[in-house]
Amino acid sequence: VRNHLRAIHKSMRRRKADPSRREVQGIFELKSPADWRMP
């Protein structure tokens, strides 16, 4: 599992400049620890 997450993270970094991937990154941003604290 760890390797799988690492591959996803690596691909996310690589596609950072890809406009079509911004939606996916937005979903991950919503799952940030800061948002987890909110009730």
Q: How far apart are CA 28 and CA 11, in angstroms?
A: 13
For residue 22, give both structure tokens: 């911004």
Find tokens 């987890």 and name the residue. Answer: 36
> Is residue 6 scored above 80 in pLDDT?
yes
Q: How far apart are CA 12 and CA 18, in angstroms?
A: 9
pLDDT of residue 7: 80
10 pLDDT band (50/70/90 cuts)?
confident
Is pTM beyond 0.85? Reply is no
Residue 12 burial class via C-beta count within 10 angstroms: exposed 0-12, middle 13-18, buried 19 and up: middle
